[in-house]
Copies of this chain bind each other. A is one copy, B any other.
Amino acid sequence: METKSLLHCAYVASLVVFLVLGIQDSVQGRLLSVSKPDPKSAAAFARWLVSQNYWGVLNTISSDLGGAPFGNVVSFSDGLPDKGSGIPYFYLTTLDPTARNALKDHRSSLTISEYPIGTCGTRDPENPACAKITLTGKLVLVDNNSKEAEFAQSALFTKHPEMKEWPEDHNFQFFKLETKDIFLINWFGGPKPLTVDQYLHPEM
């Protein structure tokens, strides 16, 4: 082939790659519009991780299972994209054990991995340089007639559009995690010291 054809060919190939990646992204992930902070900036990094991921595992105490810790895959949102509050909101129904458990015993944690965001490179999900965060605290119902419920709805429905269509007779309600302790691993050397106050008011 001549040079012009080769160039055209490279252009077509890159277009195809772009399209394939675009379709993949719409299914498995979201485009990152904010770049990953330096791991040394614990608060900024934690806020980035919570705002960029949109699902995790929500843990409660299961009285049905002898007080065992019971993890459940959930979607969450801490605010509009790139306008996160650091407070994770959920849309749960008491048809599911997690909401039932929380109404009996508020103790809870939310665990989020950097891995599905796609920024861990070739690192294993358990490698400390592939970040993970666990927010521990109380899982509580948000008053349905409050400004906070409006915020939760907007935060959740923007990141999880199909929630708008979930069946009304399932009585989904907004919950939030009131964080009391933060466990953040985002590099070698053990958990990063990070208070809830630093997390909620990070110097960006």
* In the complex, A16 has a CB within 8 A of chain B: yes
Contacts of A127 in B (CB 8 A): 162
* Distance between A1 CB and nearest chain B CB, rounded to angstroms: 5
User: Which of A9, A57, A66, A95 neighbours the largest number of chain B CB atoms within 10 Å of its CB?
Assistant: A57
- A57, B134: Cα distance in complex, Å: 10
Q: CB within 8 A of A121: which of B27, B66, B70, B95? A: B27
Contact B70 A123 (CB under 8 A): no
Complex alpha-carbon distance, A125 and B90, angstroms: 12
Closest to A111 in B: B71
> In the complex the two chains form, what is the Cα distance from A160 to B60 in whole Å?
29
Taken together, the copies of this chain in the complex come to 2
Residues of B within 8 A of A115 (CB): 28, 55, 73, 116
Q: Are A116 and B116 in contact (CB under 8 A)?
A: yes
Q: Is A107 an interface residue (CB 8 A)?
A: yes
Q: How many residues of A are in contact with the other chain, CB < 8 A?
A: 64
Within 8 A of B (CB), among A91-141: 91, 95, 97, 107-111, 113, 115-116, 118, 120-127, 132, 134, 136
Given contacts A27-B121, A54-B125, A69-B109, 15 further A-B contacts (CB under 8 A): A9-B12, A13-B16, A59-B68, A65-B136, A65-B181, A68-B181, A71-B71, A72-B183, A75-B125, A75-B126, A91-B126, A95-B190, A123-B162, A124-B162, A124-B163
Enumerate 26 A-B pairs (CB-CB under 8 Å) in ascending A order: A1-B8, A12-B13, A13-B16, A28-B118, A55-B124, A55-B126, A57-B71, A57-B113, A62-B136, A65-B180, A69-B107, A70-B134, A71-B71, A71-B110, A72-B111, A72-B134, A72-B183, A73-B126, A74-B125, A75-B124, A75-B125, A91-B126, A95-B190, A124-B160, A124-B163, A127-B162
